[in-house]
A and B are shown apart, each in its own frame.
Chain A
Amino acid sequence: MDGNEPENEMAGGEAEKDAAPSFSVPAPSTPSLASLGGGQNPPNGEDRRQAVESGAAAKPRPISRRKLLEAIGAVGIGVGLGFRVLEDPSAASPARQRAAAPRSTKDPLPQWTMIFDLRYCDGCKACTAACQSAHYLPKDTEWIKVYTLTSADGGTYHLPKPCMMCEDPPCQAVCPVGATFRTDEGMVLIDQNVCIGCRTCMAACPYESRYLNTSPMPEVPRQPFPTSPEWPVPQVVDTVGKCIWCAARLPSGMLPECATSCQMGVIYIGDLTTDVAVNGQGNVITISEFLRDNDAVRLKEELGTNPRVYYIPGHGQDLSGWA
Chain B
Amino acid sequence: MFEDHIWLRQLHDQFADERQRSRFTFVEVQEYRQEIAVLWNDDCAKEMNARFLNAMAESSEASLEAMRIQSEALARCRLDLENAHEFFNTAIDTSAVMHRHLEDARSSFRTIESQLNHGMAEFRVTDDNAAQADQLATEAEMAGNRAESAASYHD
A is bound by B: no
